[in-house]
């Protein structure tokens, strides 16, 4: 009888522990776990609302900057979105209201990202050897002294 008591105690402890784990698990595992798969299902909704879209595309600039937009659309930079050289629209406009100045990178390094002659670019893409193309000092917004970035062909 004495031995049986020991067995009972051990079994009791195991059962209590198991029950504690299962009940604790019930509290710790989020309700949405398993609803859409083996993860916290409502995270999909959180991801959808994670942040407001910052980039809005070139079309969203046209209503206010019609002349620039038309010049760009007619020139060789027509496939370059405004937000490539400027910043994402959200820095400038939120909820249809202007919230701050739109930054722009006018430095020659920004032009060089696409047009500096380097290994790797497709041959037919317009590229220049900076040191040969720029005869004055290679600094600042030197490219914009001759080229209009919205319609860069001279």
Q: Rule CB under 8 A: is residue 62 a binding residue for another protein?
A: no
- What is the per-residue binding string for another protein in 72-111, x denoting contact by CB under 8 A? -------xxx-xx--xx--------------------x--
Rounded CA-CA distance 57/84 in Å is 10
What's 22-41 look like in SS3? HHHHHHHCCCCECCCCCCEC
Distance from C-alpha of 80 to C-alpha of 105, rounded to nearest angstrom: 14
DSSP 96-146: TEE-SPPPB--SHHHHHHHHB--TTS-TTS--B-HHHH--S---TTGGGGT
Q: How far is the CB of 145 from another protein (least distance, A)?
A: 21
Shortest gap between Cβ of 22 and another protein (angstroms)?
5
Interface with another protein by CB under 8 A: which range of 39-47, 65-73, 92-100, 143-151? 39-47
Query: Residue 121, interface with another protein (CB under 8 A)?
Result: yes
- Residue 8 phi/psi, 5-degree rounding, is -55, -45
Interaction between residue 13 and another protein (CB under 8 A): no
Q: By CB under 8 A, name the binding residues for another protein.
A: 5, 8, 12, 15-16, 18-19, 22-23, 25-26, 30, 33-57, 79-81, 83-84, 87-88, 109, 112-114, 116-122, 125
């Amino acid at each position: 009888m004495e031995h049986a008591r020991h067995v009972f105690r051990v079994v009791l402890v195991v059962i209590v522990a198991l029950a504690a784990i299962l009940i604790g698990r019930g509290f710790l595992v989020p309700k949405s776990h398993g609803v859409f798969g083996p993860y916290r299902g409502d995270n999909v909704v959180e991801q959808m609302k994670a942040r407001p879209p910052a980039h809005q595309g070139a079309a969203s600039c046209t209503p206010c900057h019609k002349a620039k937009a038309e010049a760009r659309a007619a020139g060789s930079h027509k496939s370059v979105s405004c937000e490539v050289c400027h910043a994402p629209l959200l820095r400038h406009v939120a909820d249809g209201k202007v919230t701050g100045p739109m930054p722009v990178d006018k430095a020659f390094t920004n032009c060089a990202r696409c047009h500096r002659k380097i290994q790797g670019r497709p041959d037919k893409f317009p590229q220049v050897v900076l040191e040969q193309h720029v005869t004055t000092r290679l600094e600042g917004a030197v490219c914009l002294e001759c080229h209009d970035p919205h319609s860069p062909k001279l």
